[in-house]
Amino acid sequence: MYPLTPLKIYALDSVLNDPLCTVRMERILRAIGRTRDKVVRVDEANVPEVAAKIAGLWPPKKVPSGMTRSYMRPLVFTRIRVDEPLKPDIGPILKRCSPETSEHLVRTILGHIDASRPFHQYEDDWQKNMVCWPTLMLGTMTGCPHGCQYCGDGRSGKMIAVGLNIEETVERLIVPIAEKNPQQRCFLLIGWGSDEITFEPEHGAFDVFTTALDRLDRYVYFHTGGDNVDWIADLKHKDRLIGVWSVTCATAARIIEPGAGSAINRIEAARKCREMGVPVRIKFKPIIPVRDWRREYAEIIEQTVKRAQPESIGFCLYIWNTYKSMMNSLNPDLLDPECLDAARRAQKEIKGVTTGPFPHKVRREIYRTLIREVRKWNKDVPVYISTESREMWDDLKDELGQDPMAYICGCSPVAVPGRKLALSTGLSHSTYLPKELASKSE
């Protein structure tokens, strides 16, 4: 796992009272060079004090030389609540907390971590004019050591909380979910604002998840911006694993994703996985148009196609933002001046548009440029655009060459290994809404 250097480590009392959770916790502690005596016990009595302490620890006032800032985030070992309502009443605890204490922070410490969440449901994507696949995603933790500047958790998340009762969570929550949703062939174990493989193999979630879903003939994705993959070689059911990488260009990876793997190291990790027999998919996401972006993306695309030889390649610009939020999270001096100016001038045009801050024409030209780079090296690999608009799919239909209603992507619920789609009655198409139907719904 990653060589984390947390400012403080906490563990819920129910973790410390559970032998399985304790073994898992001690594996993680050994991996980061810490011992159990450094762990602060948390229970309902001292949660207000602990929450206040965590809130005050981050961000750190000083980062020692040679250390990675995002690796210093406080670490909380907790136990996922598998036998309570989704949001149990914690009013009495909150009354003892300071007014500025985040309810979400308190709930997370106490283990109120969702085991699954629905994403990209049809009505929601139609309303947002977004094309993806309806899916249930899975999680056992919140927070991430990568510290990506465009990510809310990466910039300001107060801690990384790790659920340790994996076996119980899988058998009591995940297996029933899979059984109730037979149409979903592949499940993304991604966590919430997290990158779950950064804690492997010590956490052991992928061992438990792949073993359970092997019984049900399903697959598990990891989606990473890192290069921690050597542990996969010893995974018993790696034939149930699918690897997905988010890749940016070298400058963006180095400066905007400071705790993540370098761009080329991610591609090398994907190559390793492919040689282990694990299907590999690459998403250039988020595409950040830095200065000289054409050259930088051309270089990493060439390496991607030659080394990783992925089953599919996706593209997604830096979206879900406004010009103002972009200026608050990214250094404008890093960005291409023409793209930056286009975003500034388009503020009124893209107000309320999910795919902002760059206007449609700018995004379209960037996609076309990158698709051409892929086709220089591979004429056949399926390409697609991720969480983009219906209009963008319509404009790029010739370049993409896929049916937007049923396209092969990186991590859909029906994209089984081998560039195949396992469509079913429950999942017969994506959230693409044809123009004639879209006009009727508006």
Peptide bond preceding 99: is omega within 30 degrees of 0, i.e. cis? no
What's the pLDDT score for residue 85?
67
Q: Domain span at residue 65? A: 9-441
Cis before residue 64, ω within 30 degrees of 0? no
**Six token digits for residue 350:** 């893209």
Structure tokens at 46: 């001292």
Q: How many domains does the chain have?
A: 1
* 170 within domain boundaries: yes
Residue 17: how many other CB atoms lie within 10 Å: 10
Query: What are the beta bridge partners of residue 42?
Result: 12
2 falls within a domain: no
CATH number at residue 275: 3.80.30.30
What predicted TM-score, i.e. pTM, was given to this entire model? 0.96
pLDDT on residue 434: 79
Q: Is position 1 within any domain?
A: no
Pick from 51, 70, 175, 34: nearest CA to 108: 51
4 located within any domain: no
Assess if residue 16 is contained within a domain: yes
Euclidean distance between CA atoms 143 and 125, whole angstroms: 25
Residue 391 placed within a domain? yes
Q: For residue 84, give the nearest of 181, 168, 153, 160 by alpha carbon.
A: 168
Q: Which residues of the chain have pLDDT under 50?
A: none
What 8-state DSSP symbol labels residue 290? B
In a domain, 105, yes or no: yes
The answer to whether residue 189 sits within a structural domain is: yes
